[in-house]
Structure 1
Amino acid sequence: MTLKKFKLINECIRFDDKEQRKGIRSRDKLAPIRNVYDKWVNRLKMCYTVGKNVTVDEQLVPFRGRCPFTQYIPSKPHKYGIKIWCLCDASTYYAWNLEVYTGRDRNCSDSKQSTELS
């Protein structure tokens, strides 16, 4: 594929409905790719059964583009990126479930957030 063809496809590709985009994006920052992302995570769960030892891992995927939930973590090798929480099988390192951190939920009180994490 030529670079010109790739740029054309990249400009035109959309994974969400243009008419409903504004209303959904105000509630969900991952809305433009939510449909594809949910299908991918469901496929991860269908393809593997985790064992009895699982772990939660935090990962910063390097990214410096325009994104409303890019994180800056100065202690990481790549300081800018998208934070992803992964539920992984401890023996095979298979990522069974993923959650993209899109920022603090503004509709929750601080006490509710702390009880959800524990």
Structure 2
Amino acid sequence: MPLKVFNTSSRMLCFDNRESRPAKHVRDKLAAIREVWEEWLERLPYLYNPGPEVTVDEQLVPFRGCCPFRQYMPSKPAKYGIKIWVACDTQSSYAWKMQVYTGKPTGGGLEKNQMTVLGCA
């Protein structure tokens, strides 16, 4: 696909209704793409069955744009980005389950049992 066609298509691509986004954004920082993200995550386990060895790790997807949950991690090659917790098969590195880190919970408590949230415990 030529770059000009890609840029034109990406400007016209929209995943949600801009008028209802502020109301949804109060509850969910990932509201703009939540439906598409959940649909994609729902299909990941159907496409591949991981082996007995699964690992959970964080991944920083490089991103310098405006985002309320962008992270700064000085130890990573790309210092700014979106942090995603990923459960991967150790043999093939297939991402089996994923969770976007959108910041601390509203209660301000510690986050525990990330593996349980990903369904790996």
Question: TM-score normalised to the size of structure 1?
Answer: 0.84
CA distance in 2, matches of 1:77, 1:42: 30
SS in 1 for 2:51: coil
CA RMSD of aligned residues (A): 2.0
Match for 2:27: what amino acid?
R
SS in 1 for 2:32: helix
8 Å Cα contact 2:104/2:111 also seen in 1: no
2:65 aligned residue: 65
8 Å Cα contact 2:87/2:96 also seen in 1: yes
Match for 2:38: what amino acid?
D
* Residues 1:21 and 2:21 aligned together: yes
Aligned counterparts, 1:88-107, within 5 A = 88-106=88-106
CA distance in 1, matches of 2:56, 2:94: 11
The alpha-carbon distance between structure 1 residues 2 and 20, as it changes in their structure 2 partners (threshold 3 A), is same
Deviation at 1:75, TM superposition (A): 1.3
Q: Give the unaligned 5+ runs of structure 1.
A: none
CA distance in 1, matches of 2:41, 2:49: 13
2:45 aligned residue: 45
CA distance in 2, matches of 1:91, 1:8: 38
CA distance in 2, matches of 1:82, 1:114: 17
Deviation at 1:115, TM superposition (A): 4.6
CA distance in 2, matches of 1:88, 1:70: 22
Q: What percentage of aligned pairs have identical amino acids?
A: 50
Q: Give the unaligned 5+ runs of structure 2.
A: 116-121
Match for 1:58: what amino acid?
E
Count of residues in Structure 1 that have an aligned counterpart in Structure 2: 115
